[in-house]
């Protein structure tokens, strides 16, 4: 006999999910999300008060030039005025949810509210981190490798020699730029946000100081792995990777059959869908990058003619949005203090939302659906371009995430 058949025991999968359990789930989601906000760590954080609009204005006072003019005795010189630069950013809202049926809650072996909350926490953190990451990676202060090439499409990786991997020289050159622009340090160091694939190429240097060797471990940043060249590095798989899609549904690359004027004839046959998808894309032929003006069954028309390296029969046509031969290119951000800002709306930060079975009224007349979700309001802005350097490199490894 089931002695609990008639008792009033509630469980976490019961329709009457308690307020205490919702609070626990909410804390779990928020903690899980916050741990992934690596790109937010080093920015100014300015919340917008509730009821004060969707836009925030970050302000920066411009420094005075040196006062090298000799004063004239008894004469008061003209004073100097304060000047302010402003950067404006607009809040946007993000969110997602999972719908759970009553049958799922009643019959599932696992606690689906817990599992959904865990997955949503991961999603929320990665989403909000990506919002900031994309803003930072839109910066104009770019360094390609150790400044040995002039563009992303020239970065080589995986070749027998001459690879443009991340090195101490890359770090020192970025630090020199920040110093020259008088970027302030953060607790005595600049900060680097780095992908594990890129960190692998850097950590083999004998000058690398792993975080476990620090004298004062209580001051570690979240995700910090070590320091070198005046930069403390924070590792994250969410660091930006510039990738390029395959040129067609069935092939990564194409092959030149012939070339005349701006028209490349390829060996392969392009479907109508493939041809349409190529329009506006970047492609690489030899050492030159081109934009595609139009495409048809087996021809690609370029927007500009080659400058020096003419396509020849047998040349490979690679996707052109990443590195040489279409290889992924990694972004490592080297940051000074006050380089960027992050803003949330007070009262509209990350929220965990649970709608229990029966909470939808006539929209769910048979109490068949419950939902678990999250939403957040956020924005980010680059404040001083000169206080951040995006170092783009290839890597020994070649992840495909972006």
**Residue pLDDT, tens place only, 217-256:** 667 888 899 999 999 999 999 999 999 999 999 999 999 9
The answer on pLDDT for 12 being more than 90 is no
Domain for residue 393, yes or no? Answer: no
Q: What is the pLDDT of residue 61?
A: 73
Domain for residue 52, yes or no? Answer: yes
Q: What is the pLDDT of residue 9?
A: 38
* Phi then psi dihedrals of residue 66, to 5 deg: -65, 140
- E-state strands within 6-54: 44-45
Domain for residue 157, yes or no? Answer: no
Confidence of residue 101 (pLDDT cuts 50, 70, 90): confident
Lowest mean pLDDT among 21-30, 123-132, 149-158: 21-30
Contact 61, 83 (CB under 8 A): yes
Contact 293, 344 (CB under 8 A): no
Confidence of residue 326 (pLDDT cuts 50, 70, 90): very high
Domain termination residue (choose one: 277, 292, 321): 321
The answer on pLDDT for 5 being more than 60 is no
DSSP reduced 3-state for 88: strand
Domain for residue 290, yes or no? Answer: yes
Q: How far apart are CA 198 and CA 234, in angstroms?
A: 12
One domain for residues 55 and 104: yes
Domain for residue 333, yes or no? Answer: no
* Phi then psi dihedrals of residue 275, to 5 deg: -65, -45
* Dihedral (Cα; 181, 185, 186, 189), 10-degree rounding: 130
User: At which residue do the structure tokens 């999968």 appear?
Assistant: 13
The parent domain of residue 121 ranges over 19-62+83-137+341-382
- Smallest CA-to-CA distance from 315 within 256, 252, 246 is with 256
Rg of the chain (C-alpha set): 27
Q: What is the pLDDT of residue 354?
A: 83
Question: 112-136 and 19-34 helices cross at what angle (nearest 10)?
Answer: 30
Mean predicted lDDT score pLDDT of the chain? 86
Query: For the stretch 281-301, what's the b/e string if a residue is b when 16 or more beta carbons lie within 10 angstroms of its beta carbon?
Result: bbbbbbebbbebebbeeebbb
Higher pLDDT, 50 or 275: 275
Q: How far apart are CA 112 and CA 372, in angstroms?
A: 10
pLDDT one-digit tens code per residue, 260-296: 989 999 999 999 999 999 999 999 998 899 999 999 9
The domain total for the chain is: 2
Domain for residue 266, yes or no? Answer: yes
Confidence of residue 104 (pLDDT cuts 50, 70, 90): low
Contact 168, 229 (CB under 8 A): yes
Residues whose CB falls within 8 Å of the CB of residue 15, separated by 6 or more in sequence, listed in order: 102, 105, 356, 357, 358, 367, 370
Q: How far apart are CA 255 and CA 49, in angstroms?
A: 57
243: which 2 tokens?
């990738």
DSSP reduced 3-state for 366: coil
Q: Beta strands 44-45 and 340-344: pairing type?
A: parallel
One domain for residues 316 and 367: no
Q: How far apart are CA 56 and CA 176, in angstroms?
A: 32
Q: What is the pLDDT of residue 116?
A: 83
CATH of the domain at 364: 3.30.2400
pLDDT one-digit tens code per residue, 297-324: 999 999 998 887 789 999 999 999 999 9
Domain for residue 243, yes or no? Answer: no
One domain for residues 316 and 366: no
Domain for residue 126, yes or no? Answer: yes
């Amino acid at each position: 006999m089931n002695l609990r058949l008639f008792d009033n025991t509630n469980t976490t999968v019961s329709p009457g999910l308690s307020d205490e359990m919702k609070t626990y789930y909410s804390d779990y989601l928020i903690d899980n999300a916050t741990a992934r906000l690596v790109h937010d760590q080093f920015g100014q954080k300015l919340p917008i008060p509730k009821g004060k609009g969707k836009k925030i204005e970050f302000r920066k006072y411009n420094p005075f030039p040196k006062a090298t003019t000799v004063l004239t005795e008894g004469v008061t010189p003209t004073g100097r005025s304060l000047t302010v630069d402003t950067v404006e950013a607009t809040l946007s809202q993000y969110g997602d949810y999972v719908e759970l049926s009553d049958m799922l809650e009643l019959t599932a072996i696992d606690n689906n509210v817990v599992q959904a909350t865990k997955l949503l926490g991961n999603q929320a953190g990665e989403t909000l981190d990506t919002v900031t990451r994309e803003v930072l990676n839109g910066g104009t202060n770019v360094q390609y490798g150790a400044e040995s090439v002039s563009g992303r499409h020239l970065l080589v990786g995986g070749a027998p020699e001459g690879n443009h991997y991340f090195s101490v020289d890359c770090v020192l050159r970025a630090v020199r730029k920040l110093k020259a622009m008088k970027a302030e340090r953060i607790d005595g160091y600049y900060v680097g946000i780095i992908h594990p694939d890129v960190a692998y190429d850097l950590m083999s240097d004998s000058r690398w100081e792993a975080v476990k060797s620090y004298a004062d471990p209580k001051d570690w940043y979240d995700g910090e792995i070590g320091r070198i060249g005046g930069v403390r590095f924070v590792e994250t798989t969410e660091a930006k990777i510039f990738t390029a899609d395959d040129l067609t549904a069935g092939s990564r690359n194409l092959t030149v059959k012939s070339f005349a004027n701006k028209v490349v004839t390829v060996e392969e046959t392009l479907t109508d869908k493939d041809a349409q998808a190529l329009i506006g894309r970047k492609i690489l032929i030899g050492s030159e990058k081109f934009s595609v003006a139009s495409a048809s069954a087996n021809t690609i028309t370029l927007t500009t003619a080659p400058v020096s390296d003419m396509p020849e029969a047998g040349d490979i046509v690679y996707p052109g949005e990443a590195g040489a031969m279409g290889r992924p290119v990694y972004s490592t951000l080297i940051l000074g203090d006050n380089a960027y800002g992050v803003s949330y709306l007070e009262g509209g930060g990350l929220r965990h939302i649970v709608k229990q079975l029966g909470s939808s009224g006539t929209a769910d007349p048979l109490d068949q659906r419950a939902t678990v979700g999250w939403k957040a309001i956020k924005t980010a802005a680059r404040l001083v371009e000169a206080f951040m350097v995006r170092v783009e490199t290839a890597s020994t490894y070649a992840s495909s995430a972006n």
